[in-house]
Amino acid sequence: MRLEDKTVVITGAGAGIGRETARLCADEGARVIVTDVDVEGGEETVDLIEDAGGEAEFAELDVTDSERVHTVVDEVAEEYGLDVMINNAGTGHPGGPLEELDDEVRDFVVDINVNGVWNGCSAALPHMKEQGHGSIVNVGSLASILGLPKQAAYSTTKAAVLNMTRTIAAEAGPHGVRANAVCPGFTETQMLDEYLEKRDDPEQAQKAMAEQYPLKRLGKPDEIANAILFLASDEASFVTGHGLVVDGGFSA
């Protein structure tokens, strides 16, 4: 198993990509610390893992609360050690031109997508550097490499995640710590559902979106989770500072 006897902390693991990643990591032998601001969703993820014979615990966590993030990560590292930190929690915003986007919405997206990832990395790095090994995987987006129209705040934050990841890789590499990002295309998650619900015809909007991809479909959470697992595992032992695009060929 690729993560046997390793401890993995995952943010935003109460649904979607985070949940599938948590389940996959547990299937691969990891002890998974499931975190989310959504208590019900996070506890459900833990139940799914335990029902399948895996090991998991839940910790309520708002990634924008730096003190709380550090407390949770410190406690995990002290009790179990910390091998992998997966910063998955993120959010989107309603589409619109940059100049029409409310400052409050912009700040909300920045706080979760940038500061939340920053907090997770900041909390994990001291432990990983001290022990001389560790893997950080941050969840970016297709918007990390492309400017998506009417998604200025989201695109800005996800580009920041990718460059933050590269910076960490350069800084922490000499300490044996790797940092990578996964950059998914549109994936069938709750966030996508919420985005499509604002369209006049959500079903038609999803079909039109899928037609833009060479594979003629959108991604599935488990497909992104498999990419995260690869970067988290020792199979990617010589991969760091990389943004792995998993987008069904859209960017091609």
Environment class of residue 186 by beta-carbon count within 10 Å: exposed (0-12), middle (13-18) or buried (19+)? buried
Residues pairing with 86 in the sheet? 10, 137
Helix (H, G, I), strand (E, B) or coil at 43: helix
For residue 212, count other CB atoms closer than 10 A to its CB: 13
CB 121 within 8 A of CB 136: yes
CB 101 within 8 A of CB 93: yes
Per the annotation, the verdict on 154 as an active-site residue is yes
Closest CA to 225 of 5, 10, 22, 8: 22
Contacts with 176 (C-beta within 8 Å, 6 or more apart), sequence order: 128, 129, 132, 133, 134
CB 28 within 8 A of CB 56: no
Q: Catalytic pick from 80, 154, 195, 213?
A: 154
Please, what is the Cα angle at 88 between 87 and 89, to 5 degrees?
105
Alpha-carbon distance 251 to 245, whole Å?
8
Active site residues: 154
